[in-house]
Amino acid sequence: MAMTEGILGQLSMQYFVEECEKHLAHVFECKRANIVLVDRFNEKFFKTVIDQQGYSKKIIYEIDASLAGAAAISLHPIFTDNVKEESRYS
């Protein structure tokens, strides 16, 4: 039962995050919004995504000199018209 609850809870959280991303994209009038969680203690980002087969996959990467890293370090959102032209993008 606990395993089932964990899986259902994870899928519910993923659905919640995806819905937040859709609404944020609408509010900020952009094509896409992306919510990434930060583990500041271990200096890592992580995001759980559902692949096309419906399996949950956790993506983990280092906080670095990227645009996302700049936002995490500054604790402020970063708005840009073109991510690829942003100097903090690596």
* pLDDT at residue 84 is higher than 50: yes
Question: Domain range spanning residue 77?
Answer: 2-85
In a domain, 45, yes or no: yes
| Segment 26-67, tens digit of pLDDT | 998 988 887 888 887 888 888 777 677 777 778 888 887 677
Write down the mean pLDDT value for the chain.
Answer: 76
Would you state the structure tokens that stand for residue 52, as one six-digit string?
Answer: 């096309």
Q: How confident is the model at residue 5 (pLDDT cuts 50, 70, 90)?
A: low
In a domain, 90, yes or no: no
In a domain, 31, yes or no: yes
> Using an 8 Å Cβ cutoff, are 24 and 33 in contact?
yes
> Using an 8 Å Cβ cutoff, are 68 and 35 in contact?
no
- Distance between CA 14 and CA 23 in Å, rounded? 14
Q: What is the pTM of this model?
A: 0.54
Q: What is the pLDDT of residue 18?
A: 83
- Distance between CA 1 and CA 89 in Å, rounded? 44
